Amino acid sequence: MKRLTAFLPKKIAISPPVAAVILAVVLFLLSGLLPNGYGSNVSIAIAQATNITRLSVFLGVIAAGQTLVIISGGEGIDLSVGAVVTLSAIIAYVIINGQDGMLLPGLLAALAVGAAIGLLNGIGVAYLRIAPLVMTLGMSGVVTGLILVAQHGNVSGAVSPLMTRVIARPWFFGIPGAIIIWILFGLLMWLLIERTTFGKNLFAIGSNRTTARLSGVHVTGMVVATYALAGLLSGLGGFLVLGNTGVVFIAMGNSFLFPSIAAVAVGGTLLSGGKGSYFGTMAGALVLTLITSLLTTMQMPDSVRQMVLGGTLLVLISIYGRQRGFRQ
């Protein structure tokens, strides 16, 4: 017996991203068991899976910046994400105004506004020593106020036909452009986090900022750059959401705030910083979108959806283990 047990693994560990993917598959199969489900027809099931993945794209891109902020540690969470998404979408909407030729200026403006807000967040956190939650929450209020004052609740503009074709419609083999963009975006995020000096320094300051500083990392500059990049990615998310919906409204980005944090946590990134991956965040975005789709199919009210999403987040974090470490 001892000889047989010697060949068996002592401990089977499943990484959080893999666990999230497995959960996503289980949830999708479960959706086929519900009334009006899709399990009996393979082609319809594929179409539904494609649509759910497409809907996950926008949360996944917005959560990318949140991933960087959380990995950087220092109890960092960006609460200005929703406001940045809304403002960047509005600016792109007004600049593009239905003209294909203004697509690139609209995109650059959305990215610039997001980066500028993120830069201010980073300066407040790194130089003024304001707690990240307080700084980003305050910035969210400022940006929301600016939107109301500047637009008076009314926005004049339009998306361009090219924008709709690129983001919302299939490119080839029935795959929407948004999914292809997300795949390429995911590869770029992987390269940034895993194969660059920036990524190495990001994990260093997230693990222990004192040690990182002694190792020659410019901690203050890294924090500012991380928040600025997070804002830029939120601006990109706002642009993509605009291309998908075709319209803007004042509370457009609010629905992405909590899910952007939850997707990062569900994907296995430590909320204390120093450990995580964007592929995990992508899996987390898929899980949350599937849960939302499943609850919608069951015709559950919004209050129940919020309770289920919050409960799922707590359960998965407890399964992954403690998220706080003894860090300085």
**What is the residue-wise DSSP string for 102-165?**
GHHHHHHHHHHHHHHHHHHHHHHHHTS---HHHHHHHHHHHHHHHHHHHHTT-------HHHHH
Has residue 28 got a pLDDT over 70?
Answer: no
- Structure tokens, 230: 């997070």
The pLDDT score that the predictor gives to residue 86 is: 94
The residues spanned by each domain of the chain are 57-253
Per the prediction, the chain carries an average pLDDT of 83
| Calpha distance 287→282 (Å, rounded) | 9
Among 73, 88, 117, 98, which residue's Cα sits nearest to residue 227? 117
pLDDT digits (tens, 9 = 90+) for 241-298: 999 988 888 888 988 998 899 899 888 888 888 888 999 899 889 888 888 877 777 7
* Residue bearing the bigger pLDDT, 203 or 172: 203
Amino acid of residue 193: I
Other residues' Cβ atoms within 10 Å of the Cβ of residue 183: 14
Among 192, 260, 283, 275, which residue's Cα sits nearest to residue 229? 192
Lowest mean pLDDT among 59-73, 112-126, 147-161: 147-161
Assign 324 a pLDDT band (cuts: 50, 70, 90): very low
- Strand-pairing partners, residue 170, are 176
* Residue bearing the bigger pLDDT, 22 or 67: 67
| Calpha distance 17→287 (Å, rounded) | 11
Q: What kind and span of H or E run contains 60? A: helix 42-71
Q: How far is CA 72 from CA 187, 199, 203, in A?
A: 20, 10, 6
The pLDDT score that the predictor gives to residue 316 is: 67
Has residue 47 got a pLDDT over 80?
Answer: no
Please identify which residue in the block is written with the tokens 């960087």: 68
The pLDDT score that the predictor gives to residue 7 is: 46
Among 222, 288, 243, 225, which residue's Cα sits nearest to residue 88? 243
Are 306 and 285 spatial neighbours (Cβ–Cβ below 8 Å)?
Answer: no
Are 89 and 143 spatial neighbours (Cβ–Cβ below 8 Å)?
Answer: no
Amino acid of residue 278: Y
pTM of the model: 0.86
DSSP 175: E
Among 197, 209, 201, 200, which residue's Cα sits nearest to residue 73? 209
- Structure tokens, 31: 């959706």
Spell out where the chain has E strands.
170-172, 175-176
Has residue 8 got a pLDDT over 80?
Answer: no
The pLDDT score that the predictor gives to residue 287 is: 86
| Calpha distance 304→291 (Å, rounded) | 11
Q: How far is CA 167 from CA 178, 220, 278, in A?
A: 5, 36, 21
Q: Of the segments 14-28, 94-108, 259-273, 281-295, which one has the largest average pLDDT value? A: 94-108
- The residues near 73 (Cβ < 8 Å, ≥ 6 apart) are 205, 206, 207, 209, 272, 273, 274, 327
Lowest mean pLDDT among 52-56, 112-116, 319-323: 319-323
Among 297, 322, 286, 299, which residue's Cα sits nearest to residue 54? 286
